[in-house]
Amino acid sequence: MADETLRLHLPEPTTRPGMDPDASMIKVPPAGTLPKPPLDEPDDKMWDYALGMVRVLDDDHGAVGDWDPKLDADTLRKGLTYMMRTRAFDDRMLRQQRQGKTSFYMKCTGEEACGVAQAMALRPDDMLFPSYRQQSMLVARDWPLVDLMCQIFNNPKDRLQGKQLPVLYSVKGANFFSISGNLGTQFPQAVGWAMASAYKNDSKIAAAWVGEGTTAEGDFHHALTFAAVYQAPVVLNVTNNQYAISSFSGIAGGEQSTFAARALGYGLPGIRVDGNDFLAVYAVTKWAADRARSNNGPTLIELYTYRAAAHSTSDDPSGYRPKDEFTVWPLGDPIDRLKQHLIKLGEWSEEQHEALHQELEDEVKRDLKEAASHGTLGVRPCSPSTMFDDVFKELPPHLRRQRQEAGV
Amino acid sequence: MADETLRLHLPEPTTRPGMDPDASMIKVPPAGTLPKPPLDEPDDKMWDYALGMVRVLDDDHGAVGDWDPKLDADTLRKGLTYMMRTRAFDDRMLRQQRQGKTSFYMKCTGEEACGVAQAMALRPDDMLFPSYRQQSMLVARDWPLVDLMCQIFNNPKDRLQGKQLPVLYSVKGANFFSISGNLGTQFPQAVGWAMASAYKNDSKIAAAWVGEGTTAEGDFHHALTFAAVYQAPVVLNVTNNQYAISSFSGIAGGEQSTFAARALGYGLPGIRVDGNDFLAVYAVTKWAADRARSNNGPTLIELYTYRAAAHSTSDDPSGYRPKDEFTVWPLGDPIDRLKQHLIKLGEWSEEQHEALHQELEDEVKRDLKEAASHGTLGVRPCSPSTMFDDVFKELPPHLRRQRQEAGV
Amino acid sequence: MSRMNMIQAINSALDNMLERDPNVLIFGEDVGYFGGVFRCTAGLQEKYGVKRCFDTPIAEGGILGMAIGMGANGLRPVAEIQFADYIYPAFDQLVSEAARLRYRSAGEFWAPITVRSPCGGGIYGGQTHSQSPEGIFTHVSGLKTVMPSNPYDAKGLLISCIEDDDPVLFFEPKRIYNGPFDGYHDRALQPWTQHPMGEVPDDYYSIPLGKANIVRPGSDVTVICYGTMVHVCETAVKETGVDGEIIDLRTMLPLDLDCIVASVQKTGRCVIVHEATRTSGFGAELIAEIQEHCFYHLEAPPIRVTGWDTPYPHAFEWEYFPGPKRVGEALTRVMEDA
Amino acid sequence: MSRMNMIQAINSALDNMLERDPNVLIFGEDVGYFGGVFRCTAGLQEKYGVKRCFDTPIAEGGILGMAIGMGANGLRPVAEIQFADYIYPAFDQLVSEAARLRYRSAGEFWAPITVRSPCGGGIYGGQTHSQSPEGIFTHVSGLKTVMPSNPYDAKGLLISCIEDDDPVLFFEPKRIYNGPFDGYHDRALQPWTQHPMGEVPDDYYSIPLGKANIVRPGSDVTVICYGTMVHVCETAVKETGVDGEIIDLRTMLPLDLDCIVASVQKTGRCVIVHEATRTSGFGAELIAEIQEHCFYHLEAPPIRVTGWDTPYPHAFEWEYFPGPKRVGEALTRVMEDA
Ligand SMILES: Cc1ncc(C[n+]2csc(CCOP(=O)(O)OP(=O)(O)O)c2C)c(N)n1
Ligand SMILES: Cc1ncc(C[n+]2csc(CCOP(=O)(O)OP(=O)(O)O)c2C)c(N)n1
Ligand SMILES: [Mg+2]
Ligand SMILES: [Mg+2]
């Protein structure tokens, strides 16, 4: 070794604000190339899935290959509707934040196929351990938007009594676990939930989500380790939307490998899927769910997608990425792709699409009106004395004294 | 799916106390089969190394294949001597504990090749972040046993002033980092240390060790993630000695994959090596160190070995594994294997071996006498007032008051 | 009724609960086949099967993350953390998750987990096998914190913890696993068989959380303590002849303030003893509450006798440990004051 | 000399230290190119290069593990934890490692790391962006804990933290990043430009750790506080007309006990204010020390005004926050007592 000088590597994205957006480093394999393996395929036969990408929708909007879930047109239209409802909801709520009606909001724009297709591929009583960008799953489980809006407004119809930050929902009725403000913590919990299900010889499985940035947390590793050791019936998902607030995926280790590949070292299958391809997401999720439900063990899915909007209403992406980066994103828009596919099938038209769009806008507007009628930011959801409830199941003496001191 | 009943999988070893020991599930590839890759081999070309096993010493005690480090006989004899000295030290110190001269001891019997060969393959100024079973590295760095014994006895020559549990050494003079009682914590620290070295354009690398049981800790994942992201010049090692106290390696995830394979998901090379093969351990460690030193990034090494002794003096393995399990262990005894190799080379003999054994016994006995002359368990290493030192660099007022209150 | 040491009493509590409630599960590092490094789970896997009592990977955060998920799915997990010193890797799961789940979901979800962990020093464990972190957890809203001082209480309290629908930390002072340590390490340890509280029913019973126990009534000074220190305080009271009223808190949170206040208002003096480091330890909280509720009854400043604000030094553990001599000096001093 | 808010003052401290000492490194989630979610590191990567100021993976335990290793190899890392609520995943690295390294190696190794983290509520952050965990760390021997209340102190203290050879936690009360919040969220925030402590030298200077600051001398009652609460206490003193002597601790550990004792011995009364939950919060420790050292001077029981023992509720943060009204009531009450 001639040169013995060590050098520190710092990952850097190829583009920054003011530069032309660039997606040339993203390799997108053609649709339909990877076969669909049996549910008990040994994990060392599945490396191509972790490093490649399962895609069903081709560039001409056809569905190709082994993974095509062959969903009927009604189901596809339902999926499209859920995605469009999610987007209408997001757009409307962002505006509410801008108008000072809520302190905070987070959109999932560009990631709608992930949530909707996954929710539809899972069973309604499977337990979801979502991140904060999974509102589309609640939409796909037909949970009333009004209820979500009331949580966002922390108004008297907020079931969480104003205790939680907007969008950190808890919807037991939809088997949607309480969202934590702490990243990653729910991943091992989902494994434990799934283990309890197996312990009880139940048939419900669990599914959990983290962003690609969050995969760096120890909780991610705990979840994969425990899931592998106890072969828990759980589907673990990484939404790789390329960003963790301002950090590009290279800061999370994306330069060296895919996030699906993390599974390999645990002896688990990892599958990377085109997250903007409704059919592919549905098929891969269904495969993983079937695998879990048939005691073949856990799966890690990487949903390869793009966070088209800001991280949250507290964020402005123009500070760290080219403004028009989304336009060069090679996997397109998930709603548009499913729409085109339906049109190609002869099951949808531009007119129907426009009509549906309008209908959903109206519906969301109606919902919003109803929700806002119960109050928006600043209204009291309930008596401040509830602030002392639910710390424990029963109010202990010291909290009783403090409540008294608070005079509430 | 006909049967939808979920079942919980609990890993169980094939044998327990009272049963015949069994090693039939351990697959040992023949020596010399894996070629030695270039230092910049892409990680996805290195999967065979993570799932296979690098071995140099064959069943006839010859050195075969690409990985043979071709060490000269003096070096080999030196390695043998270090290993034997380590074992003599361990045996003697165990007896000290049995005699009540120390509160605690931990042997590394069966794992001597790992520590000695690795220490010899690294440079003296490379920084080691050891676990508690790495005493052989101090031996191989020629650190005086008397010093270690005095730490174990917490006597007035204990440089750590009785602050630490026996065997949790700190030897800055040998570039051997302070051992933590907390498992795994030193793994990300080694990465940070290595990054600092790279930041300073130094040439020193870092190396760190955890047991296979400890790989489950979040710290392990943090270390691999940060090492991958910043391409830190570090060699990360997992000593897979099959047990974590009473738990067989399946509890750590060993049923599903190897521990070297953990590296794959991070896009890092992982290499499994016959940990009882001095030559293979040396070669693999040297390769990883060269890789790190030439800015080719970190490596994860799994040292596949067997914990022949109890976990510690507080443990009795007959409670959880067949008593004679070591006899069926397919990779043999590291000292015996190097001895036989040297004999085969015509560079060693049974007589020389016996003489060396006796010499080392005598030497350790002498060292022990010297160390014990300064006192053993129960002696005061120094004034109790030192108890308040080194909490902070300078004694803050509250500790000054407490020291006064303690009257020491 | 049997004679039990603390280990057997804890084992008996787990045994009873495994038997009564199929939702009770026990796990942790080495707790399965081996029965735990302190033997608290010995025999339980054999009796109830590997699904009810099993080993886990070494990842305390993973253990409690898993436990929370199980708890949210209707089970009552009892997790062992091998030493209290190793709770810290699981700190986030405890503090941000177990403690907050019920609150943030306004009661929709909760995790009725029990975390058992041996704590305290005096066994030559050095700085990483001797810590007493209980005070930290009392600062975290949403957690209950319990520490028994004898086999009878250990069993009854542990059963209450397991049945409790909130997350509970159950600290086991390992120095008294085998006998009521009087604070003199150079004297023979009295076994629990010779102590009235070593008399433990084999069957199910429970002791409510949040109720302190007056171990010894007295009129001179209130001595507040828990765990190992209860026995050290008894020694000190005996040795000094000061008529101390010894209160064994048993539960730190919820705290039995009524018991404390009644006693201090009666005695006007108070000594607080714990093994944990002093600064911001639970003793500080006790003093804060006492001065709030008993200010006008206090005849002398309450005194804290605690571990020093240093790690637990291996060779000097008896200089670190707040033994009978230090407690005795405090008792004498608090009687001289004012 | 410039007019700076807290963010700018912190940025200036980092800038000075990056310039003076090539061993100073700055990192954390989003601190590099972006400059931090609160902009405290804005411009530093551009000025000093990506090797001096960079982004990290989202793994607080990894961030501090890495920092400790760097510190042990001669650097002075300054790590940002994005919110104090997210320190917990790094708890073990802080408590078992950073705090213990010097001790367990008897001075052979140490890690001079600084951990910066925004804390406190009042910005509609809900329960996971509002916590004040400082008290917990004061219970851990081996850590120093600092919280400034204004730009001038922030810069001077942060520089001392970075130069300190022990691990230091530097908490930044985010509610006062932009101005000295008087406790009334419905009134306009006064900017730091209008406050004397917003006058900050551009050049290097330092304020020693362990020295409290008497913000306002007074004779009726000692008011002990830090961070945001300093300004709330000033409001309350103004509003009640009680002649409070306001002590801004600045450093919780090491504590400036002399300053506190002198003041309480003078006033005989004391109100302690912090935003953190009450039970076992740092206020308890202060009361314990005060009663030990000032017992015979106390004319009324010291009063704690704190956050309630609940998570920080999003919709009721102003009911949770210990505002001027609650502090004022305590001032009035402590004057009426006895
Ligand atoms: C433990 C923890 N650390 C840091 C944060 C602050 N934080 C909130 S979101 C976020 C980025 C997460 O990125 P990613 O996991 O990729 O998810 P995405 O937002 O892209 O869906 C960060 C750092 C947090 N909430 N919790
Ligand atoms: C964080 C932490 N958890 C638990 C322990 C207790 N403990 C000490 S050694 C050990 C087993 C470690 O097994 P392994 O990593 O395989 O190392 P080995 O002893 O086999 O070398 C355990 C659980 C600890 N020291 N630290
Ligand atoms: Mg992301
Ligand atoms: Mg092991």
| pLDDT tens sequence across C171-197 | 999 999 999 999 999 999 999 999 999
Region B276-304: what's the mean pLDDT?
A: 98
Give the pocket of ligand 1 (CB within 6 Å): A 131, 133, 181-183, 210-214, 239, 241, 243-245, 307, 311; D 29, 58, 82, 86, 89
pLDDT for residue B2: 54
Q: How many CA atoms lie within 13 A of C106 on its CB side?
A: 23
Region D220-230: what's the mean pLDDT?
A: 98
Nearest-CB residue to B397 (from D68, D101, D257)? D257
Which tens digit of pLDDT belongs to each residue from A289-337?
A: 999 999 999 999 999 999 999 999 999 999 999 999 999 999 999 999 9
Alpha carbon separation from C141 to A32, B322, C102, D102, D121 (Å, rounded): 53, 47, 11, 32, 16
Q: In what order do the strands lie in the sheet with D53-55?
A: D53-55, D24-28, D76-80, D114-119, D168-173, D144-146, D251-253
| CA D59 to ligand 1 center in whole angstroms | 10
Which tens digit of pLDDT belongs to each residue from B339-397?
A: 999 999 999 999 999 999 999 999 999 999 999 999 999 999 999 999 999 999 999 99
| CA D237 to ligand 2 center in whole angstroms | 55
For chain B, give the secondary structure using H, E and C.
Answer: CCCCCCCCCCCCCCCCCCCCCCCCCCCCCCCCCCCCCCCCCCHHHCHHHHHCCECCECCCCCECCCCCCCCCHHHHHHHHHHHHHHHHHHHHHHHHHHCCCCCCCCCCCCCHHHHHHHHHHCCCCCEEECCCCCHHHHHHCCCCHHHHHHHHHCCCCCCCCCCCCCCCCCEHHHCECCCCCCCCCHHHHHHHHHHHHHHCCCCCCEEEEEECHHHHCHHHHHHHHHHHHHCCCEEEEEEECCEECCEEHHHHCCCCCCCHHHHHHHCCCEEEEECCCHHHHHHHHHHHHHHHHCCCCCEEEEEECCCCCCCCCCCCHHHCCCCCHHHHCCCCCHHHHHHHHHHHHCCCCHHHHHHHHHHHHHHHHHHHHHHHHCCCCCCCCCCHHHHHCCCCCCCCHHHHHHHHHHCC
DSSP-assigned letter for residue A54: B
pLDDT for residue A169: 98
Question: What atom in ligand 2 is closest to the CA of residue B252?
Answer: 16
Integer Cα distance of A352 and D266 in angstroms:
81
pLDDT for B48 beyond 90: yes
Q: Which residues of C touch B12 (CB under 8 A)?
A: 50
- In a 3-state reduction of DSSP, which class is residue A382? coil
Residue C110 contacts A, CB cutoff 8 Å: yes
Q: Would you state the structure tokens that stand for residue D67, as one six-digit string?
A: 């920092």
pLDDT for residue C1: 86
Q: Would you state the structure tokens that stand for residue B91, as one six-digit string?
A: 């045996």
Integer Cα distance of C148 and D86 in angstroms:
32
Integer Cα distance of B171 and B179 in angstroms:
9
Residue C94: phi, psi to the nearest 5?
Answer: -75, -50
Q: Which residues have CB atoms below 5 A from the ion given as ligand 4?
A: B 211-213, 241, 244
Q: Would you state the structure tokens that stand for residue C30, as one six-digit string?
A: 């080495």
**Of C9, C5, C2, nearest in space to C199 by CA:** C2
Question: Can you give the pTM of this predicted structure?
Answer: 0.98
Residue type, B22: D
Nearest-CB residue to D86 (from A161, A182, A219)? A182
Other C-beta atoms closer than 10 Å to the C-beta of A373 total 11
Q: How many CA atoms lie within 13 A of D320 on its CB side?
A: 31
DSSP string, D262-316: HHHHHHS-EEEEEEEESTTSHHHHHHHHHHHHHGGG-SS--EEEEE-SS---STT
pLDDT for residue A2: 54
Asked whether the beta carbons of residue A245 and residue D313 sit closer than 8 angstroms, the reply is no
Which tens digit of pLDDT belongs to each residue from C246-295?
A: 999 999 999 999 999 999 999 999 999 999 999 999 999 999 999 999 99
Which tens digit of pLDDT belongs to each residue from D30-39?
A: 999 999 999 9
Residue B384 contacts C, CB cutoff 8 Å: yes
Asked whether the beta carbons of residue C136 and residue D136 sit closer than 8 angstroms, the reply is yes
For residues D275 and D231, the answer to whether their CB atoms sit within 8 Å is: no
Q: Would you state the structure tokens that stand for residue D57, as one six-digit string?
A: 């993976």
Q: Which residues of C are catalytic?
A: 129
- B234-260 burial code (b ≥16 CB/10 A, e <16): bbbbbbbbbbbbbbbbbbbbbbbbbbb
pLDDT for A44 beyond 90: no
Residue C200: phi, psi to the nearest 5?
Answer: -130, 125
Alpha carbon separation from D110 to A52, B389, C129, D143 (Å, rounded): 45, 13, 21, 12
Cis peptide before D254 (omega within 30 of 0): yes
Q: How many CA atoms lie within 13 A of A302 on its CB side?
A: 30
Integer Cα distance of C151 and C108 in angstroms:
36
Question: What atom in ligand 1 is closest to the CA of residue A312?
Answer: 19
pLDDT for residue B30: 96
Beta strand pairing call for D76-80 and D114-119: parallel
Region D221-228: what's the mean pLDDT?
A: 98
Integer Cα distance of D199 and D152 in angstroms:
7
Region B325-347: what's the mean pLDDT?
A: 96
Mean pLDDT of chain B: 97
For residues D259 and D267, the answer to whether their CB atoms sit within 8 Å is: no
Residue B51 contacts C, CB cutoff 8 Å: no
Beta strand segments in A247-371, E: 247-248, 270-274, 299-304
pLDDT for residue C310: 98
| Residues in chain B, overall count | 408
Nearest-CB residue to D315 (from A247, A381, A388)? A381
